[in-house]
């Protein structure tokens, strides 16, 4: 079994769209909106913004099968442009196998080498204990929460906000 992590390219549009559709269909401990797959032209524009420059999407593949993705997206406003939001997705069948950790470590290394990114922030739903544990192991600190931010049938969940600041001085 060959595994790899690489930056997304425009040639990945169809596979990435299918991968994200499978993630969007899940209703686990994720903040991805169930069933709201974006249209193909939105996916292509997203890839175009992340294929080069200081935004990035990295893909995890096993034998050329897409099993995970991680996105770093700068906020695009002068006061916030030193920071990037992070989104991590791993296919359900491949969770717990170190793919999320590998993607996160790869993207953190890339961000540290970026001249623009000094801070990464993310949001995670409170019941995603494995993701919270991973983020904390890799140096993210909980900075706050949004109470009752997610409503799933018969229950509210808080969202935790995590941040990681790079000392580039």
Q: Give the start-to-end residue ranges of the domains of the chain.
A: 3-165
Prediction pTM value: 0.89
pLDDT at 28 > cutoff 70: no
Mind listing the pLDDT tens digit for each residue in 51-94?
Answer: 777 899 999 999 989 999 999 999 888 899 899 999 999 999 99
pLDDT at 29 > cutoff 70: no
Q: Which string of DSSP letters, residue by residue, matches 154-168?
A: TEEEEEEEEEEE---
* CA separation for the pair 147, 157 (Å, rounded): 7
pLDDT at 23 > cutoff 60: yes
**Domain 3-165 grouped into CATH 3.40.630.30:** yes
* CA separation for the pair 145, 148 (Å, rounded): 9
Position 167 scores a pLDDT of 82
| Alpha-carbon dihedral angle through residues 49, 52, 56, 59, given to the nearest 10 degrees | 110
* CA separation for the pair 70, 130 (Å, rounded): 16
pLDDT at 118 > cutoff 90: yes
Which two three-digit tokens encode residue 144?
């706050």
Which two three-digit tokens encode residue 136?
């904390």
pLDDT at 8 > cutoff 90: yes
């Amino acid at each position: 079994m060959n595994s790899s992590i690489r930056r997304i390219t425009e040639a990945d549009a169809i596979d990435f769209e299918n991968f994200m559709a499978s993630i969007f269909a899940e209703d686990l401990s994720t903040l991805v909106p169930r069933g709201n797959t974006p249209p193909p032209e939105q996916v292509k524009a997203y890839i175009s913004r992340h294929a080069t420059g200081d935004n990035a999407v990295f893909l995890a593949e096993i034998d050329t099968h897409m099993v995970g993705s991680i996105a770093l997206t700068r906020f695009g406003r002068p006061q916030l442009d030193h920071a990037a939001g992070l989104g991590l997705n791993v296919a359900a069948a491949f969770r717990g196998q170190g793919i999320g950790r590998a993607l996160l470590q790869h993207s953190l290394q890339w961000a540290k080498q970026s001249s623009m990114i000094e801070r990464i922030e993310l949001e995670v739903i409170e019941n995603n204990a494995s993701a919270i544990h991973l983020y904390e192991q890799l140096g993210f600190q909980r900075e706050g929460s949004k109470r009752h931010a997610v409503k799933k049938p018969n229950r509210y969940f808080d969202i935790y906000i995590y941040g990681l600041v790079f000392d580039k001085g």
